[in-house]
Chains A and B, each alone.
Chain A
Amino acid sequence: MYWTRRSRLTGIAYLAPAVLFVLAFTAYPLARMVWMSFHSWSLITPPSWVGVGNYRRAFADDQFWVSFVFTLKYTAIITPILIVGGYLLALLCSSPSPLRRVTRTLVFVPVVIGLGVSSLLWYWLFSTDFGLVNRALLDLGVISKPVLWLGVDADLSNLAITTSVVWKVIGFGMILFVGAIQAIPTEIHEASLVDGAGYRQRVTRVILPLTLRTVLVVTLVSVIGSLLAFDQFYIMTAGQPQNETATSVFYVYLNSFPYLRLGYGAALSMILALTILVFTVVQLLLTRRSHA
């Protein structure tokens, strides 16, 4: 009874608002961004066609490369910490004891608060004269005078920001790994026990292989998130020193808004979007397979 001609029209009517919305607020901006990326445009002067000029300019732009390489470095450092740390936490927390369950809940709490707000919190904790990190390290005798964590040295800033983001998002991977570990059928566990496997063997031979797809998907989600990092750097270092800690998204933001180089900003956005696309496609292929 659903399969009549009239029901086809009804279905289209239900679908139409969402389709129109995506056309107007995702597809149209995307088309406009592509168009902008081939034009030179500063909002004051009318846009003029420059072909691939903006792209050529990007590849010759030192700051573009500094931001791109910095973003990659940040991603390369934080991803293994999040995945390995998240997995170890999941192994610890996947059993049903009350204490483990509380641990799981608390590790996940920072995931639900905003990245902007958590960055402000850590901006305070890492502040030179007013922060508790320096206070605690001084009291413990680890350092002899307050450390300038943020905005003076790129590596120290990166270390402080990485710490804050690990705290903020490590629970995300953990909760998904716990789900995957708990989904392993008990028969498989029992079979490996009968075979006399020790705990370490069971982790490396049974649990890890059976949760590998989740590990890969979470890795990709994390990589994409890190490549798009902005809030934590904008808030904690504002790109300092000398834009050394400005990420790719940060550089797009700087060009598009304070500098009003709209065409150039769009070209930078395109390069970023294409980089992300590679990872997204792999992720979608992996998740698609998990349906089967």
Chain B
Amino acid sequence: MTAIAERRRSRRAVAVGGRQRPRRRGYLLGALCVAICTVMVLPLVVSVLASVKPTAEAAASPPTYLPHGLSLDSYERLWTYQQGLPTYLFNSLGTALLTIAFTLLLTVPAGYALARFPIPAKEVVFVFLLLALIVPYQALLTPMFLMFAEIGLTNTLVGLAILHTAIQLPLSLYVLRNSFSAVPRELEEAAITDGASSWKVLLRICIPSAKPAIVTVALFAFIMSWNEFLGALVLMSRGSSFTLPLILAAARTETSLGGTDWGMLQAGITISVIPCVLFYLLLQRYYVSGLMSGAVK
């Protein structure tokens, strides 16, 4: 299973004098991998396929495995469902981009300060900033909702982005602080001797050196905000401010036709999944390193 196992197998094969058994085991493990891949990908594949079934077939019971015809009807219905897909895409994307902006604007300077400046009671401040790690946001939604209602932030993208930033802040700060700490001090000291201000050092030296960490933080903020459900459910009560997951959850039970419009639901799922999978495949390295530093270290 590991490289070592490979070596051991070949060694045993030499000792036994035949290669038959280890090779067969290799094939079996290979087949197991293929089976696992199939199980993992199948639900997504059948969903995408169901999204391109013609209207009548998408509503058929029992359902067909593979589409017998191809059509974009489901996408057309989604495009005009309730307030229309563009509204929900705009809300989801707007919230996600604001979350990225807020998160970086708050945690880049804070991470830099924690990594490089003499702050009184630094450890205490750091632990305080990680407060959201200790108190799950699910427990804070009621007071958050009341507070946002008082200052007019319910049903606004800024309000939802603030909630998402609060959720994402500890991980981002942690990743950025560690990454700024790892920037070689010599680089900065040379710049300071040349008369650069701390702000210039941050912009010209620290941020470029910590680019991978910044990409990781932005990626996690995007994925979390794009997918987050409960907070959006609580804060966004008006149909026109729904995000993509909210309108799809609403569409699972009620449509103009009476029953669930399964084809349209699959079209919506496909559209929600695309950016997440795309960013993951493109930025896999950042994703895994972020998980490692966030969850384990």
Binding site for B on A (CB under 8 A): 1-3, 7-8, 10-12, 14-15, 17-19, 21-22, 25-30, 32-33, 36, 89, 91-96, 99-100, 102-103, 105-110, 112-117, 120-125, 127, 129-132, 134-135, 138, 167, 171-172, 175-176, 179-181, 186, 189-190, 193, 199, 202, 214, 217-218, 221, 224, 228, 230-231, 234-235, 249, 252-253, 256-257, 262, 265-266, 269-270, 272-273, 276-277, 280, 284, 287, 290-291
Q: What are 15 A-B contacts with C-beta separation under 8 Å?
A: A11-B119, A14-B117, A17-B105, A21-B106, A29-B140, A33-B142, A89-B36, A95-B1, A102-B37, A106-B36, A115-B227, A132-B46, A180-B296, A181-B2, A290-B297
Q: Are A18 and B296 in contact (CB under 8 A)?
A: no
Contact with A along B103-118 (1 / 0, CB 8 A): 0011101101110111
Knowing A116-B227, A189-B4, A290-B297 touch, does A135 contact B105 (C-beta < 8 A)?
A: no
Q: Are A132 and B63 in contact (CB under 8 A)?
A: yes
Nearest residue (CB) in B for A18 is B110
Nearest residue (CB) in A for B224 is A114
Kindly identify which residue among A26, A257, A291 contacts B297, using a CB–CB cutoff of 8 Å.
Answer: A291
Q: Give the distance in Å from the alpha carbon of A76 to the alpha carbon of B225 in the complex.
A: 29
| Interface stretch (choices B74-82, B209-217, B286-294) | B286-294
B2 partner residues in chain A, CB cutoff 8 A: 91, 94-95, 181, 189
A122 partner residues in chain B, CB cutoff 8 A: 43
Binding site for A on B (CB under 8 A): 1-8, 29-30, 32-34, 36-37, 39-41, 43-44, 46-47, 50, 59-63, 65, 105-107, 109-110, 112-114, 116-120, 125, 128-129, 131-136, 138-147, 162-163, 165-166, 169, 173, 189, 192-193, 198, 223, 226-230, 233-234, 245, 248-249, 252, 260, 262, 265-266, 268-269, 272-273, 276-277, 279-281, 284, 287-288, 291-292, 295-297
A14 partner residues in chain B, CB cutoff 8 A: 109-110, 112-113, 117, 198
Knowing A11-B116, A14-B110, A17-B106 touch, does A32 contact B147 (C-beta < 8 A)?
A: yes
Q: Are B132 and A266 in contact (CB under 8 A)?
A: no
Kindly identify which residue among A26, A107, A224 contacts B131, using a CB–CB cutoff of 8 Å.
Answer: A26
A107 partner residues in chain B, CB cutoff 8 A: 36-37, 40
Q: Are B139 and A252 in contact (CB under 8 A)?
A: yes
Knowing A29-B147, A30-B131 touch, does A103 contact B33 (C-beta < 8 A)?
A: yes
A125 partner residues in chain B, CB cutoff 8 A: 43, 46
Q: Are B5 and A114 in contact (CB under 8 A)?
A: no
Q: Are A131 and B136 in contact (CB under 8 A)?
A: no
Q: Are A112 and B29 in contact (CB under 8 A)?
A: no
Nearest residue (CB) in A for B278 is A112
Knowing A25-B144, A32-B143, A135-B62 touch, does A117 contact B169 (C-beta < 8 A)?
A: no
Q: Are B292 and A26 in contact (CB under 8 A)?
A: no
Kindly identify which residue among B62, B125, B141, B273 contacts A19, using a CB–CB cutoff of 8 Å.
Answer: B125
B265 partner residues in chain A, CB cutoff 8 A: 120, 124
Kindly identify which residue among A21, A100, A217 contacts B295, using a CB–CB cutoff of 8 Å.
Answer: A217
Q: Give the distance in Å from the alpha carbon of A266 to the alpha carbon of B249 in the complex.
A: 26
Kindly identify which residue among B140, B166, B230, B288 contacts A179, using a CB–CB cutoff of 8 Å.
Answer: B288
Q: Are A235 and B252 in contact (CB under 8 A)?
A: yes
B50 partner residues in chain A, CB cutoff 8 A: 124
Q: Are A11 and B276 in contact (CB under 8 A)?
A: no
Nearest residue (CB) in A for B106 is A18
Q: Are B114 and A15 in contact (CB under 8 A)?
A: yes
Q: Are A273 and B139 in contact (CB under 8 A)?
A: yes
Kindly identify which residue among A3, A33, A231, A291 contacts B140, using a CB–CB cutoff of 8 Å.
Answer: A33
Q: Are A123 and B118 in contact (CB under 8 A)?
A: no
Nearest residue (CB) in B for A262 is B142
B228 partner residues in chain A, CB cutoff 8 A: 114
Knowing A25-B162, A26-B135 touch, does A11 contact B118 (C-beta < 8 A)?
A: yes
Knowing A107-B40, A112-B276 touch, does A36 contact B134 (C-beta < 8 A)?
A: no
Q: Are A115 and B262 in contact (CB under 8 A)?
A: no
Nearest residue (CB) in A for B202 is A14
Nearest residue (CB) in B for A203 is B1
Q: Are A114 and B109 in contact (CB under 8 A)?
A: no
